Amino acid sequence: MIPVILSGGSGTRLWPLSRTDHPKQFLRLLSDHSLIQETLLRLKGVNEQKPIVICHESHRFKVLEHSRQIHQPLESIFLEPVARNTAPALALVALQRVALGKNEPLLVLPADHRILDIKTFQQALKIAEQHALTGALVSLGVEAEEPHTGYGYIKRGGRKGNAYRIESFREKPDLDTARKYVESGDYYWNSGIFMFQPEAYLDELQRNEPGIVVACHEALRRLHSDLQFLRIDEKAYTRSPSRSIDYAVMEHTRKGVVVPVACGWSDIGSWTALQACSESDEAGNVIEGKAIIEQCSNSYIRSGHRTVAAVGVDNLVIIDSHDAVMVASEDHVQLVGKLAKQFQSDPVDSLSQEEEVFRPWGHYKNLSVDEGYCVRKLCIHPGASLSEHSHKLRSESWVVLKGEARVRLDGQVHDLGPGESINIKSQLKHRLENIGKDALEVIETQTGLTISEEDIERVQPE
């Protein structure tokens, strides 16, 4: 089987930590690994094929960095120029595999889910593969632990070996309907995890949504490969209908099979869902980071840069990030996405929106941003370098914290160690390299009348 990781969500319900440029799959919410790293790691031992990742173009360096950190090589990264939901995204992969003469089952995994029982999950994948090899379109159905109104449901039909035929898909129900589903024993939560052969998927997609196949086929005709990145034609892909795989294929196919699994699954779709996945104290509180509390109960408190203090609160969610604090009652957390939209629409300097920004050479983190200046911390991988460039409107200074730096400035070479610095005037071409064996850490200070990411002229593209 070939893992296909869907990494295109925005995760606004986990604002203010999850952002458009840094959605929840890149957050470390439950362990020292991000959710996309957890997704990749749980495949070890059951599959040795290099995964394919589908993500938005703006997330490409994040995907590379998160896979690099866990030493997981990727087969390729499909870059979506615009979001068109899961059915077109998977059509791109399926069409490419068929064009290469390959029809191994594709294992479709969202990048932002939690699974506790890895062994049981992997056993379910092996069962799913057996059915996928017969031409079935397989969905993993999670055995419902409780009536849940935030999940879609799959109703099982008659037995098909060690699985069941899919009778129908049901949208997110109200609470009374969800109780009836669970009590009947015939319904599973729709996990969003699928497995099928490319040809089988394309046959069903052609039957139900031929416009998707046409648009994706045209987009692939202009495929451009850039290292591991696969860029498709934006105009052609934009013409594709925006459909989920559930709506476009799984709800219509007669070849659907559901494999039941109880593996401690959650899509972590809200702060209360994350709270349910976390260990609480005797009063039902979950505390992540620095917090002091007094007479609090059943609350989720997560701090970032500051200490959060709470007294006498109950059933609250309090989230502190680098530039926003969110407070919500637990029965209103589903509305957090509306706050995220309001926040993003405000004229806030985009430089302060995201803590870490990833690049091919490493990443940087903004420490302080205001009118006329920006202070950031750069981390450059061993052997890596920033592209040669210049700025029209700002000057810069670099101070080395750790490692060995080589600065090429206006035709001259300067080697710097910890504590050493260099000033760079506007208009001058410059380049920073890591010539050491360890990561290079540098404090960069930008000053000028205008501080903008647009103020950069590269000699070569990054």
pLDDT tens per residue across span 215-261: 999 999 989 988 789 999 999 999 999 999 999 999 999 999 999 99
Check residue 454 and give its pLDDT. 82
For residues 343 and 345, give the distance between their C-alpha atoms in angstroms, rounded to a whole number.
Answer: 5
Q: Give average pLDDT by consecutive 10-residue segment, the chain, 462 residues.
A: 90 86 91 96 89 94 93 95 94 97 96 95 96 97 90 94 94 92 94 97 96 97 89 95 94 95 93 92 95 96 93 96 91 89 64 70 90 94 94 95 96 96 95 96 94 83 58
Structural tokens at position 42: 């749980």
pLDDT at 252: 93
pLDDT > 70 in the chain, percent:
97
Q: What is the pLDDT of residue 246?
A: 93
SS3 at position 15: coil
DSSP-derived pairing of the beta strands 163-170 and 52-56: unpaired
Amino acid at 123: Q
Cα 424–Cα 429–Cα 434 angle in degrees, nearest 5: 75
* Residues listed for the chain: 462
What does the pLDDT look like over 176-185, one tens digit per residue? 999 999 999 9
Fold of 350-458: Jelly Rolls (2.60.120)
Alpha carbon of 10 to those of 64, 68, 391, 449: distances in Å?
18, 22, 32, 33
The CA distance from 436 to 45, in Å, is 35
In the chain, what are the domain boundaries?
2-266, 280-343, 350-458
Distance CA 220, CA 265 (A): 34
Which of these CATH numbers, 3.90.550.10, 1.20.58.710, 3.30.70.120, 3.30.2090.10, describes 2-266? 3.90.550.10
- What is the per-residue pLDDT for 349? 42
Q: What is the pLDDT of residue 330?
A: 92
pLDDT of amino acid 453: 81
CA-atom Rg of the chain in angstroms? 24
